[in-house]
Structure 1
Amino acid sequence: MNCAAELQRKNYSATILNQAMDDDAGSWWWWTNVIGTLLFGIIGIIGNIICFLVVCRFALPQHSFVEYLRSLAIFDFLSLLFECIQSLHDLFSYLFSINLLNFRSSIICKLYEYLNHVIILLSCWAIVSLTFDRLILVCDPWAKRWPNLSRRICNSKCAKRIIFLLIILSLLINIPHLLYQEWICRKPGYQYSAAFIGNLNLNETKSNPISKRLLCQCRTSPYLSHVTLLFYVTWKIYIFHLFCYTLIPAIILIASNTAILKLIHSRRQIVGQKNEHLRSKLTRTLTLVSIMFLILYFPHAIVQTLSILIFPNYHKRCDIRSLIIIRILKRLSELMNITALGINFFIYILGVNHYRSAAIKMLGLHNFNLFLPYLTVEHRNSIGSTLIHSNKYNRTNIQMNNSTIQLLTIKNNENLNQISKSSLENRNLSK
């Protein structure tokens, strides 16, 4: 089908065609995505910084979940930073025609895209590792076959090894992003978009990137052979997006959370009421983090995968309505993804008393009476002992100052008496 003739027959406006096939900047879903990303991204960046500092300063280092929480805070922080930079680039490009990400070099462009996708994958698998760690520690499903498995896996040393292994695997999996992309420029407008002409490599011409009439970004290299291009597209669709980014993490999270929730709500023998309560409270909070991640994060992964699978075929049918629906779903699911990356800190604060109290103390909010009821007994006692020590120190300083003042007044009085005596003696001698 001749898509150009079909679009002319249906009499679509140039604005709708550009929003569907080329650039949806200026649409309501674009504004919602940009403003929401900047708002939730900044809140999430601040929250992840506080979460990392709280976990590093007040958590017990021998526990495995502490290492996962630290790595999760770092990866989420970096992911949100990349998203905020991209949103600022889109906003400045639309309002002021300023390209913040004008790399002008394929090497910088490749490194930026490569690191971005590495961090995205690590954010996903950090929460998967945390959930699987909780599954082994709480449920211990292989206790009969391997009795000491939970002790061997659920410790700080093993957690560090797993995180290091995830970093290595993510760096290896994303190598095609480093090899098969280049800094490509094309003319603006839907006539030169991939959806219109049906090219997966999204290139019109490799031209001067300084010109304002060209759209420049990291795209699939136009110089790839057919076999290499087929390999890259297959890898991007199935290996990265479908399996590593969507299906495998989703299956692990759903199965692990189902087993944990089933055990939490089942009857258990009471073995130390206080320790059991603390373990259950922490487990519920970390399970809630995993479930919220599953609800908010994976719609974006699913929409992204479906768009890559379906999008290239729409140019054959010239289905503008479906293309716009995909654009809207991608923008809104991206906003849900940002929320998932920035919400963890607030779940920790609301769910675990120790972390809430530690955050209040670290931020200095314990000086206000409003936050004192939310402190744990341990932190209240430490604050009380600090206040008592400071009061004693102030009292000793006041006493020392008073004694010094008294000594000075006595010396001054003695000096005055000596002066008066000497003046009287001088008067008597003069007489």
Structure 2
Amino acid sequence: MSDCAALEALSRCKIRLRQRHPYFAVLTLFAIYRTDPEVALADTDGREVRLNADAFLALPDTVATGLLLHVTLHAALLHPLRLSGRNPALWNIACDVIVNHIIGTQTTFPVPPGSYVAAHLGERFVPQTAEHVYEYLLKHRLGADQLAAKLNAPQAAGAGQGGAGDAPDASAADGAARAGQTRTSGLSAAMAKRFGARAAPAQAEVPAPPAPAAALPAPPAPLRDIRAPQAGKGNEALRLHWESALVKARDQAGARRSGKQRSSWDKELDAACQPQIDWRSVLWRFTIQTPTDFAGLDNRFVHAGLYLESLVQETVNIDVAIDTSGSIGAAELEQFASELRAIMSSYPHIVCRMFFCDTALYGPYEVTADFRLPRARGGGGTDFRPFFAALERQRGERQVDAAIYFTDGEGPFPETPPNYPVLWVALPGAIASDSFSFGQVIRMA
């Protein structure tokens, strides 16, 4: 009986979403919903969305609609597929921050209880993509335990509330007022079913009406609503399925918001539609695929009908800079050095030199198959120019075929980009990829 009632409530949420925010309602047409008593409240593995019928029915209408949109966005933005080898709990928090930021800035619905918002991470924190938030959590050593106290603390007024993306109409304001009247009783009942007796009981007397922008009280336990997808075939088809849904939703949003500023979820859309590539694979491809090994055809043999590649040099010179200005962890540095050693072992024709760099340059150190990291030098500010200036001064003595910069911070770039390939290996929490003036950027995660 409760399953049928939950499906009816689900239909009402879809209609409510279609009336106020039709571009998000498009995504619900591509999702598969089913009830499951084993799930605590709601979750998704990208293929289907599971709801606990009793807990879902206990939520006020607007809260249930916000929950429905929250978990549907997880599926549509491929958050389960993008989990890869990351910490599941930390990835769930990062994705919650992104999804709630979208809900809070683009809709009039509240974010679901038990989920994290950007305010939990920092007063001025502005999320860009789920990967960006995850890197921030890693850099600042923020885990589920550290954030649990912030989740249980009352949120500031207006946190997680929508309305910036679309001005609430009369029906939205009326719905918000009704939701405010039912929060004390309806939400407490839902939280009691979801989290046990720790949820605050309803008061006997009639409570004073809450402020219009007051946030929902957070439960004592976080919402875990991302499940890792089953290994095997079908993931690429799932990616294409949701990519089609996201394109249709974006077109609908563009038609409705013609002439307005692009919505805040464009970066997350781009991240969802672009498959994530492991940084190690990019590093190997960049290192071994250099354009300087061969240069066209050897003209000495063309007249004889032999089209042979002309070998320019027997070695490939690669210079590596390691930024020592910030808090580069020993684990990340050792991962990077380990990959360099493996590359040197596999390709003896590569000659690699390494420098430490903050605002000055220290080195070089020769990187070999049995290379061990020396004691790091530096510790001041960040300046990318000394490294590239040193390579330019040595161009007469030694050809530079490629450069790799391992960095975790921002600094001044050379005014003139070098004429050789540059790869930036950005640590968690580094500046945005599009902020690098030149070169290719990969991010460790």
Common fold: TM-score over 0.5: no
| Larger relative contact order (Cα-Cα within 8 Å, sequence gap ≥ 6) | 1
Q: Choose between structure 1 and 2: higher helix proportion.
A: 1
Higher Rg of the two aligned structures: 1
Where is the strand percentage greater, Structure 1 or Structure 2? Answer: 2
